[in-house]
């Protein structure tokens, strides 16, 4: 068991601070501060340059600040009032007893929490154990669970170097590099026993015993446990098992998934945590079902098939991947090398064990699929949008030969985003005034969001322009810094001072540069694109950001083509690429753009959430009807969008080249005939009233639906505690105007 009486890192940090500032230590070690109202200035005020240098790490900046600077702040009455008010709010939040879940599902208790397993968690940029959408969703899942009082613990991996860092060379080619994470200076705590030693669990990885230690991260009222194999008593190879996120070869991948799944269950067991539900967020964690079974067999002495139903009843699974090739599969030989000594503990033969992950039984060369294992061993499965649920049922119908496709037991719960995290404080302040100061706690209430109509157009527009100016200033800073590091010529570096214009229609495109996301679709007809972006009367500008996986050569080529386009003399000030995309860059983009562009090949976008974040900030979506946008997009009687735009409408073909042509022409036509004219239809004060009306409609129709409070309520009533579904009034119905 862990030693709760030991001096914690927060206590140790507190002892270094002047008395009036001691509560900063509590706030620094709980990521609740990152979605509080004072998140902008609380730590940045200490030293803005150091805040930037340390990657917005609150522990690092408090550790590095001089005592002279801290005592200076300790006599600032305004700063002390800010700390006092925030500490009071924090204490009320942490100690709140009357939560949503206590009212609707009191049987869900902290003594039997939900255990949420995921390979990555995007909580904040100072905890870089995420790569993209899956991790950001997982982070938002924890935050809303905390807000609603859902007793949940997260289980993941603590990566020594995380996901790769990105820089582009002078040819525009992506170069990958890594930086060690300074665990001892991060907002996390190594769990120790009564003797002050790290609590560890043991795993067998091939023929070696690997010791794994456990770190604790506080996310509001939710605890996230992260597993780490970087210990001196491990083989040097095994110390790197938790080195990189999505790095290495298939052997590394399966070893990491053993640590996450089997190690995660053992870690919870070692900490005395007995979950009521195990939630597998994507197939990476599917091995946890086997360890749950092993423990039950060890406890009862029964056979695997005797306890299989009990294991299945405790596990639920969310799938995120709409194509078979995107699901983790391992060869029988690789499974042999990792599990030959494990399946006897389950009282299974090799053939019986391999059958658990086999898509088709009877083929000795059939690979072992993690999604197949998760589907077989979970009582409930869901996709992450309505369309993705349909696609998943079709994809996995082979596992249910006695059922028609529409009866395949895979439902859907559409993803959402954590509104307090992604809504700009400047917009949040406006919502405080017109929607009520408790708007964050009523994110699912369409009647509340209808009050955005009361916001004067000029107020909403002026705040949007401030956020756009901030985005452009940030983009100039990042691009200038990149050009300096590449050794570009002086003129090109200085040109960043005139890069982009706050008065110009601004599009954002930021995501993983996988070929199916078609990051360069807008360049398909280069001359037509040049005409749109270089129009002297009604110009358009675009900001790109995102990474291609290190092994994805085509994704890297897409980025290179975009970088070449950035230097086209006709639009050199109208196109920018921000390197090394992270949560902070994502926040600036979704809060400042006019239009969010999303043009994947349908139906390959399972859900997507970046466009949802844009809605909370008054931005408009221009997207292919895929993922969540199928549910979010609404058209008026004339067939035109009233809350955004649909690329290609419903026209689709299996011929990818033909589809690319259809969608690019649709995108150009939307820009030329609808988006650009609407934006530049401004009054004498520069306010585009019809555009602002569309912003309000986007907020009213999308904000109540696509938030993680609604999503978590759905998981509680439909998946975690389905027996309450009939007694709980639906938290929200579809909003139609």
Q: For residue range 11-40, list pLDDT tens digits in order.
A: 999 999 999 999 999 999 999 999 998 888
Confirm whether 4 is domain-assigned.
Answer: no
In angstroms, the CA 463 to CA 431 distance is 12
Q: State the pLDDT confidence band at 645, using cuts at 50, 70 and 90.
A: very high
- State the Cα–Cα distance between residues 222 and 152, nearest whole angstrom: 6
| Per-residue model confidence as pLDDT tens digits over 231-253 | 999 999 999 999 999 988 999 99
Query: Are the CB atoms for 373 and 289 separated by under 8 Å?
Result: yes
pLDDT in tens, 416-470: 999 999 999 999 999 999 999 999 999 999 999 999 999 999 999 999 999 999 9
* Residue appearing with tokens 């527009």: 461
- Residues 85 and 105 occupy one common structural domain: no
* pLDDT at position 40: 81
Q: Does residue 727 have a pLDDT over 60? A: no
Q: Phi and psi of 151, rounded to 5°?
A: -70, 100
Provide the pLDDT for residue 4: 52
Range picked from 4-8, 52-56, 655-659 for highest mean pLDDT: 52-56
Distance from C-alpha of 737 to C-alpha of 720, rounded to nearest angstrom? 32
Range 14-19, long-range pairs (CB < 8 A, 24+ positions): 16/62, 16/63, 17/62, 17/70, 18/67, 18/70, 18/71, 18/73, 18/74, 19/74
| CB-based contacts of 445-452 (< 8 A; 24+ apart in sequence) | 445/704, 446/700, 446/704, 446/732, 446/735, 448/704, 449/699, 449/700, 449/703, 449/704, 449/735, 450/700, 452/696, 452/699, 452/700
CB 606 within 8 A of CB 388: yes
What is the C-alpha to C-alpha distance for residues 351 and 343, in angstroms, rounded to an integer?
A: 10
Instruction: Please report whether residue 430 resides in a domain.
Output: no
For residue 220, cis peptide bond before it (omega within 30 degrees of 0)? no
Residues 560 and 483 in one domain: yes
DSSP-assigned states of every residue in 649-688: TT---S-HHHHHHHHHHHHHHHIIIIIHHHHT---TTS--
pLDDT of 729 higher than 70: no
200-204, 205-209, 358-362 — most confident range: 200-204
Whether residues 80 and 106 share a domain: the answer is: no
> What does the alpha-carbon distance between residue 156 and residue 298 come to, in Å, rounded to a whole number?
25
Per-residue pLDDT of 378-392, as tens digits, reads 999 999 999 999 999
Residue pointed to by tokens 């230690």:
213
Segment 130-153 shows an average pLDDT of: 97
**What pLDDT score was predicted for residue 725?**
60
Collapse the DSSP code of 293 into the 3-class scheme (helix H, G, I; strand E, B; otherwise coil) and give the result. helix
For the segment 646-668, the average pLDDT, to the nearest whole number, is: 87
Per-residue pLDDT tens digits for 159-173: 999 999 999 999 999
pLDDT digits (tens, 9 = 90+) for 291-328: 999 999 999 999 999 999 999 999 999 999 887 767 78
Q: 553 and 595, same structural domain?
A: yes
Element (H, E) at 644: strand 644-647
Tally of domains within the chain:
3
CA separation for the pair 324, 609 (Å, rounded):
22
364 band by pLDDT with thresholds 50, 70 and 90? confident
Q: Which helix (H) or strand (E) holds 689?
A: helix 689-702
Asked whether the CA dihedral 153, 154, 159, 162 is positive or negative, the reply is negative
Q: How far is Cα 292 from Cα 315, in angstroms, rounded to an integer?
A: 9
> How many of the other CB atoms lie within 10 Å of CB of 147?
26
- Distant-in-sequence, close-in-space partners of 128: CB < 8 Å, separation ≥ 6: 55, 159, 162, 163, 181, 582
Alpha-carbon gap, residue 239 to 161, rounded angstroms? 12
Tell whether 698 and 637 lie within a shared domain. yes
Residue 428 maps to a domain: no
* SS3 of 89-108: HHHHHHHCCCCHHHHHCCCC
Determine, yes or no, domain membership for 529. Answer: yes
The values of phi and psi at residue 651, to 5°, are -70, 120
Residues 89 and 206 in one domain: no
Q: Is residue 729 assigned to a domain?
A: no
DSSP secondary structure letter of residue 228: E
513 vs 113, 164, 280, 548, 551, CA distance in Å? 37, 14, 26, 5, 12
Closest CA to 186 of 265, 123, 238: 123
Query: Exposed, middle or buried by CB within 10 Å (0-12, 13-18, 19+), for 649?
Result: middle
- Confidence (pLDDT) at 360: 84
| 133 assigned to some structural domain | yes
**Predicted pLDDT of residue 39:** 80
Determine the pLDDT at residue 82: 94
- pLDDT at residue 568, as a whole number: 87
Domain with 112 in it: 100-412
DSSP designation for 113: P
Confidence of residue 3 (pLDDT cuts 50, 70, 90): low
Spatial CA neighbour of 408 closest among 386, 371, 368, 380 = 380
Is the pLDDT at 650 greater than 70? The verdict is no
CATH number at residue 515: 3.40.50.2000
Rounded Cα–Cα distance for residues 644 and 629 (Å): 10
Residue-level pLDDT at 735: 37
Residue 369 shares a structural domain with residue 295: yes
Which of 95, 127, 158 is the last residue before a domain boundary? 95
Whether 527 maps to a domain, the answer reads: yes
2 pLDDT above the threshold of 80 = no
Residue 423 near residue 592, CB atoms below 8 Å = no
Tokens representing residue 223 in the block: 């605890």
- Per-residue pLDDT tens for 573-624? 999 999 999 999 999 999 999 999 999 999 999 999 999 999 999 999 999 9
> Nearest to residue 342, comparing CAs of 350, 351, 332, 331?
350
- Are residues 67 and 107 part of one domain? no
The overall average pLDDT reported for the chain is 94
Model confidence pTM above 0.85 = yes
Which of 49, 75, 95 is a domain's end point?
95
| 86 and 106 share one domain | no
Tell me the C-alpha distance between 593 and 622, whole Å: 12
Are residues 501 and 602 located together in one domain of the fold? yes
* 3-state DSSP percent of the chain in helix, strand and coil, to 5: 50, 15, 40
Average pLDDT over residues 539-555: 96
- The whole-angstrom separation of Cα 397 and Cα 95 is 46
Query: Which H/E stretch holds residue 316?
Result: strand 315-318
Domain-located, residue 1: no
Both structure tokens of 343: 């399946």
Do residues 222 and 152 lie in contact, with contact meaning Cβ atoms separated by under 8 Å? yes
Report the alpha-carbon distance of residue 351 to residue 194 in Å, rounded: 44
Characterize the bridge pairing of strands 222-228 and 208-219.
Answer: antiparallel
Residue-level pLDDT at 733: 31
Last residue of a domain, one of 61, 78, 95: 95
Q: CA 552, 553, 555 angle in degrees (round to 5)? A: 70
Determine the straight-line distance between the first and last CA of the chain, rounded to whole angstroms.
55
Say if residue 365 is in the same domain as residue 441. no
- Report which listed range, 91-100, 467-476, 562-571, 725-734, is most confident: 467-476
In a shared domain, residues 128 and 265: yes
Q: What stretch of H or E contains 134?
A: helix 133-148
């Amino acid at each position: 068991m862990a030693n709760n009486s030991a001096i914690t890192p927060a206590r140790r940090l507190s002892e270094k601070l002047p008395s009036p500032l001691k509560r900063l230590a509590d706030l620094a070690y709980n990521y609740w501060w990152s979605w509080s109202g004072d998140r902008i200035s609380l730590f940045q005020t200490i030293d803005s340059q150091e805040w930037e240098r340390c990657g917005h790490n609150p522990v690092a900046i408090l550790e590095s600040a001089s005592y002279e600077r801290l005592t200076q702040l300790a006599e600032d009455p305004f700063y002390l009032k800010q700390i006092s008010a925030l500490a009071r709010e924090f204490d009320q939040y942490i100690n709140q007893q009357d939560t949503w879940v206590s009212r609707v599902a009191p049987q869900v208790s902290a003594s039997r929490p939900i255990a949420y397993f995921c390979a990555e968690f995007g909580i904040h940029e100072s905890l870089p154990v995420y790569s993209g959408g899956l991790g950001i969703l997982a982070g938002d899942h924890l935050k809303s669970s905390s807000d609603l009082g859902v007793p949940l613990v997260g289980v993941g991996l603590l990566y020594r170097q995380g996901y790769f860092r990105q820089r582009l060379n002078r040819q525009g080619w992506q170069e990958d590099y890594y930086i060690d994470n300074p665990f001892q200076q991060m907002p996390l705590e190594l769990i120790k026993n009564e003797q002050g030693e790290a609590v560890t669990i043991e795993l067998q990885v091939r023929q070696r015993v690997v010791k794994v230690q456990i770190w604790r991260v506080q996310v509001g009222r939710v605890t996230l446990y992260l597993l780490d194999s970087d210990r001196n008593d491990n083989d040097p190879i095994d110390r790197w098992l938790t080195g990189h996120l999505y790095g290495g070869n298939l052997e590394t991948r399966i070893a990491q998934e053993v640590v996450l799944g089997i190690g995660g269950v053992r870690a919870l067991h070692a900490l005395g945590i007995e979950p009521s539900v195990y939630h597998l967020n994507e197939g990476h964690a599917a091995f946890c079902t086997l360890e749950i079974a092993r423990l039950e067999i060890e406890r009862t002495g029964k056979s695997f098939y005797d306890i299989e139903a009990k294991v299945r009843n405790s596990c639920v699974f969310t799938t995120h991947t709409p194509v078979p090739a995107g699901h983790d599969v391992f060869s029988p030989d690789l499974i042999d090398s990792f599990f030959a000594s494990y399946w006897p503990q389950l009282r299974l033969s090799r053939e019986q064990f391999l059958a658990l992950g086999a898509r088709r039984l009877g083929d000795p060369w059939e690979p072992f699929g993690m999604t197949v294992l998760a589907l077989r061993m979970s009582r409930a499965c869901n996709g992450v949008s309505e369309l993705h649920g349909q696609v998943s049922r079709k994809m996995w119908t082979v596992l249910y030969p006695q059922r028609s496709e529409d009866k395949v037991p895979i439902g859907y719960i559409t993803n959402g985003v954590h509104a307090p995290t992604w809504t700009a404080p400047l917009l949040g302040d406006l919502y405080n005034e017109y929607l009520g100061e408790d708007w964050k706690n009523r994110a699912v209430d369409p009647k509340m969001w209808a009050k955005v109509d009361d916001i004067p157009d000029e107020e909403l527009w002026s705040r949007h322009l401030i956020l756009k100016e901030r985005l452009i200033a940030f983009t100039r800073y990042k691009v200038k810094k990149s050009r300096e590091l590449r050794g570009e010529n002086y003129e090109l570096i200085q040109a960043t001072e005139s890069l982009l214009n706050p008065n110009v229609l601004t599009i954002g495109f930021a995501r993983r540069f996988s070929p199916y996301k078609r990051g360069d679709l807008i360049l398909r007809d280069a001359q037509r694109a040049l005409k749109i972006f270089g129009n002297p009367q009604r110009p358009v500008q675009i900001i790109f950001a995102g990474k291609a996986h290190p092994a994805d050569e085509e994704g890297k080529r897409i980025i290179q083509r975009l970088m070449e386009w950035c230097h086209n003399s006709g639009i050199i000030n109208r196109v920018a690429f921000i390197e090394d995309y992270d949560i902070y860059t994502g926040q600036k983009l979704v809060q400042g753009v006019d239009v969010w562009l999303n043009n994947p090949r349908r139906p390959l976008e399972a859900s997507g959430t970046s466009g949802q974040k844009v809605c909370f900030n008054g931005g408009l979506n221009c997207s292919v009807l895929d993922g969540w946008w199928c549910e979010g997009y609404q058209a008026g009687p004339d067939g035109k969008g009233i809350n955004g735009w649909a690329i290609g409408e419903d026209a689709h073909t299996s011929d990818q080249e033909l589809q690319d042509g259809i969608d690019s022409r649709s995108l150009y036509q939307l820009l030329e005939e609808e988006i650009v004219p609407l934006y530049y239809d401004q009054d004498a004060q520069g306010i585009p009233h019809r555009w602002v009306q569309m912003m309000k409609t986007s907020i009213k129709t999308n904000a109540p639906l696509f938030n993680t409070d609604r999503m978590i309520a759905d998981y509680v009533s439909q998946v975690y505690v389905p027996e309450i579904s009939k007694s709980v009034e639906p938290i929200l119905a579809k909003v139609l105007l």
